[in-house]
Amino acid sequence: MKKLFSIGMVAVLSTSLLAACGAGGSEEAGGDGKKVIKMGTSADYAPFEYIDTAVSDEIIGFDVDLAKAIADELGYEVKIEDMDFNGLIPALESKKVDFVLAGMTPTEERKKNVDFSDVYYTAKHMIVTKKGSDIKSVEDLKDKTVGVQVASIQEGKAEELSEELGFKVENRNRIPELVQEINSNRFDAIIIEDTVAKGYLKNNEIEGFVLEEGEDADAGSAIAFPKDSELTEDFNRELNEMKENGELEELIVKWFGGEE
């Protein structure tokens, strides 16, 4: 009887696990029975994704709201995994997460390894310096030290500009580290997305200017997925539905004040 009972339990457990495993979803089930899918992000990128430590340790932001809105329509529950930005694509490739929402630009290099949705938000590159700095234009970066986030689109842009203008590029894992290096005079400037920079400009002795038109200034953000994920088409369909019915614009107004 014990043996038969054990075999029966194994069969039940196996069936349960198979039911919980599906295209694009993890083996977990949420509190309401929904399939859980894992979102990878780097929660240092306000207002896209960040932690307001004065309130709680919960990750919040535009990308979080967007992910939950799409997942809810598709019948999923979202579990958020926080990691360094340069670990996000490897996490997709190893299937540790089901998708990434982290203000990520769909570059041709990244497309070799992962798939992307349509662009959901477009921002610009901003050069940030300490207040009173003599850096007033891109040309003023010559012979300076410029900081960027590891594996970001701004890192590629900085390396491109450094070949032309002659300045040193250094990288850090997180945006707050870049701002700290500015405040400590270890960097002369940093290059980050203008939407993200606005929050730091309010609270630090720093200032910035957006790269001018014609300098490849735009940096669009898209949702990233493992190659050939069945979630890609579903998420993209819901994303475009949100664009058409105004829900995406409502989130933009909520988190960015309507400035796209």
DSSP conformational letter for 87: G
Residue 89: name the closest of 48, 47, 150 by CA.
Answer: 150
The range of the structural domain enclosing residue 144 comes to 123-218
Q: Are residues 169 and 143 in the same domain?
A: yes
Residue 104 lies in a domain: yes
Run of H or E residues at 104: none
Residue 11 lies in a domain: no
Residue 33: name the closest of 96, 76, 97 by CA.
Answer: 76
For the chain, the distance separating the N- and C-terminal CA atoms, rounded to the nearest angstrom, is 67
Distance CA 229, CA 236 (A): 12
Domain with residue 46: its CATH number is 3.40.190.10
Scored b (16 or more CB within 10 A) or e, 202-240 reads eeeebbbeebeeeeeeebbbbbbbbeebebbebbbebbe
Q: What is the mean pLDDT of residues 43-49?
A: 97
Q: Are residues 129 and 66 in the same domain?
A: no
Q: Are residues 104 and 230 in the same domain?
A: yes
The number of distinct structural domains making up the chain is 2
Q: Are residues 64 and 193 in the same domain?
A: no
Q: Are residues 118 and 225 in the same domain?
A: yes
Q: Per residue in 156-197, pLDDT tens?
A: 999 999 999 999 999 999 999 999 999 999 999 999 999 999
Residue 202 lies in a domain: yes
Q: Are residues 193 and 105 in the same domain?
A: no
More confident residue, 23 or 74: 74
Q: Per residue in 73-131, pLDDT tens?
A: 999 999 999 999 999 999 999 999 999 999 999 999 999 999 999 999 998 999 999 99
Burial class (CB within 10 angstroms; exposed 0-12, middle 13-18, buried 19+) of 195: buried
Q: Are residues 118 and 129 in the same domain?
A: no
Residue 12 lies in a domain: no
Residue 136 lies in a domain: yes
Q: Are residues 39 and 109 in the same domain?
A: yes
Report DSSP letters for 141-197, one per residue.
GTT-EEEEETTSHHHHHHHHHHHHH--EEEEESSHHHHHHHHHTTS-SEEEEEHHHH
Q: Are residues 56 and 45 in the same domain?
A: yes
Q: Are residues 159 and 30 in the same domain?
A: no
Q: Are residues 161 and 151 in the same domain?
A: yes
Q: Are residues 206 and 228 in the same domain?
A: no
Model confidence, pTM? 0.83
